[in-house]
Chains A and B, each alone.
Chain A
């Protein structure tokens, strides 16, 4: 059945319609990623409502195309104007921009396209090869464990976010709180605050995502100077071949960075911003000439770009398996899945369910990376145009598309209010280092966590011991997950206390 699903996925992928959406997604992604200040979650959030009239498979393929393309696109502004188009390309600036100043912009951009494509191809292939094992694992996980996995995803936020754990947990709790408005899905009970009919279906989480990623980002962009290329950057065609060859000469860096991206990407909340720096730091650490980094070392660009595209595959694992977003972009992707009636979880791996679509999505990403390579290399000399678009044109258009797209979701005026409220909240949350991804995780995981909690409570007649007493309920995995959650939340404090105790 799994093989049949795979073959069916190939057939679905090879249709003209799918390929057109994939190509469109990648190109839109490259453009969105290349525009300073925009990025994958924003691009995907704006496009999300526009996919409403589309078929589910086409919509998801368009979204993953945007996701993948914008990961590469982010390097364009990083290399040409020393401003990362997306935060996941920040490390690309360190060596990409010096290369550009040395007149090697084409080489840097070609390295970026090649490393992104190879890393993407490698990690997606690995994911497809490991998918039978992953399928078994996901299908073996029961309701109590799915609740605990959701909580584990939230607990990880305290690990991967900088700053106080209380801020991360507050953001997560507030996100979960948002999902408690409206009819409680698992129990179909009314939860309308102030008895508002407009809140009957709750707060639309796609509108929340649009507010957090589009409106908040535009507010941020409106307060920033620069980001626009002042003069012409010379992009010499001759450097393209050099860039491809240079990347191919560093297979170890590419594969190591891709793996870092894959692993870090699977950690909820970490995302490409973290993997990008981890891979870059590792490249510096393992280099024979670490001092050359920061002044135009090609290996720095390879490491950074290979890792952020590797993250795409990694972040899809928890997203599709358990509905836990590995990054902001996968949160929007989950929004897309839910909007089109697809529920992340076991059904996405069930041969009689949506396994074919899951395979189509992975194969689309595989082909998408080839598209990145072709489009990226063939457009290298023209990419500088993207960096000359003034944010004064971008901001109103993004706001307009956000408003119209949000209203199109359900025709509910509350959604318009939602994007403004959460846009302002998101802006200040980021400003004061409250994890937006924790908030998003809460919003995305609310229904999943509550639904599974409710079912688990039914299984145990209302006893929380189902999570920690394997002798009575036979759920050892629940116990392991519970211990992991406790370790994640309290481990750092115990470690601190132990170190202080030792030094005293």
Chain B
């Protein structure tokens, strides 16, 4: 799915300096060029923290499991975000975690006599993380960074580092327009694509794929978001053909084929409206339900086209 120069490229040209500044700042903090992986990890981290704190408002019996999972999510996210500083962060995180477990377990033990397991494991973790901090750091580093695998690919292959990937990218000649475009942004996206691809190669135990045009996933994601917003405002019945029309515009489909696709999609949404879920015709946020084709075509004096003339006019303006 290769596109020629589009408005998206113009936008990416404009935001490139901003992204570069953010990436430079992030590089200083993370010890590596920020990528979408870091965004993903930050998302996990924020969600974990929010859900950990949010769970404290639940009844005690309902707290344990979400807090346990949220805690695990936070710990692993932090370890992966700080993977370039694990010799320092590892023991520190271990000590903090151990201290926290010891505090929680100790408090529970004093109050109710429970929590001995937490108390002992917390103290052990705290002591190990402090006393054997170098070994502990190395062990955490190995846990986070080194591939552990007994099935699938070949671990003997050295893992390509970010530096390697960057070098490869810089050394590659810019042979044509497409390749220039694909470098869109020293931005993290194209760099990370290269890195991820190089990491993916040679594995049997995971899902392997390559991305040729980074704009494809971005536009698809954006169009899906537009589809969702339209769904929430005018309902899926009409949002569906609009989404498909936008898609056909993006891929520059032949007019006849595009019309056929739009009609087909409208038929599908109409079938859902008729047989599965009537609510697909209503916008959830607005509560607005545009007239359905049955309303528009009806000859009944109550539901004929005329009462919807104003709405139709609005539609015409909107589409125009």
User: A residues engaging B (CB < 8 A)?
Assistant: 52-53, 87, 90, 158-167, 169-170, 173-174, 176-177, 180, 184, 187, 189-191, 193-194, 215, 218-226, 264, 270, 273-274, 276-278, 391-393, 395-397, 399-401, 403-404, 407-408, 411, 413, 416-417, 420, 423-425, 427-436, 450, 453, 462, 464, 492-493, 496
Q: Across the A-B interface, give the 4 residue pairs with the lowest CB-CB distance, nearest first.
A: A222-B216, A277-B204, A180-B66, A223-B216
Closest to B203 in A: A162
Question: Would B40 and A428 count as touching, CB distance under 8 A?
Answer: yes
The main secondary structure of chain A at its interface with chain B is helix
Q: 11 A-B Cβ contacts within 8 A?
A: A164-B144, A164-B147, A169-B76, A189-B61, A193-B50, A223-B1, A226-B212, A273-B205, A397-B261, A428-B39, A496-B146
CB < 8 Å neighbour of B221 from A219, A430, A453: A219
Q: How large is the interface on B (under 10, 10 to 19, 20 to 34, 35 or more residues)?
A: 35 or more
User: Inside 8 A of A404's CB, which chain B residues have their CB?
Assistant: 236, 240, 268-269, 272, 276-277, 280
Question: Would B77 and A180 count as touching, CB distance under 8 A?
Answer: no
CB < 8 Å neighbour of B148 from A53, A165, A176, A429: A165
B residues 6-28 near A (Cβ < 8 Å) are none
Question: Would A222 and B217 count as touching, CB distance under 8 A?
Answer: yes
User: Inside 8 A of A180's CB, which chain B residues have their CB?
Assistant: 51, 55, 65-66, 69-70
Question: Would A218 and B220 count as touching, CB distance under 8 A?
Answer: yes
User: Inside 8 A of A87's CB, which chain B residues have their CB?
Assistant: 207-208
- B210 on the interface (CB 8 Å rule)? yes
Question: Would A53 and B276 count as touching, CB distance under 8 A?
Answer: yes
Question: Would B47 and A177 count as touching, CB distance under 8 A?
Answer: yes
Question: Would A408 and B143 count as touching, CB distance under 8 A?
Answer: no
User: Inside 8 A of A164's CB, which chain B residues have their CB?
Assistant: 80, 143-148
Question: Would B213 and A225 count as touching, CB distance under 8 A?
Answer: yes
B206 to chain A, nearest CB (A): 5
Question: Would B36 and A191 count as touching, CB distance under 8 A?
Answer: no
A398 to chain B, nearest CB (A): 10
The main secondary structure of chain B at its interface with chain A is helix
User: Inside 8 A of B139's CB, which chain A residues have their CB?
Assistant: 493
User: Inside 8 A of A413's CB, which chain B residues have their CB?
Assistant: 231-232, 284
Known contacts A193-B51, A411-B279; is A159 also within 8 Å of B151 by CB?
Answer: yes
User: Inside 8 A of A430's CB, which chain B residues have their CB?
Assistant: 207, 209
How far apart are the CA atoms of A15 and B251 in the complex, in Å?
46
Question: Would B206 and A223 count as touching, CB distance under 8 A?
Answer: no
Known contacts A184-B65, A403-B240, A464-B117; is A193 also within 8 Å of B54 by CB?
Answer: yes
Known contacts A189-B61, A191-B58; is A224 also within 8 Å of B151 by CB?
Answer: no
- B228 on the interface (CB 8 Å rule)? yes
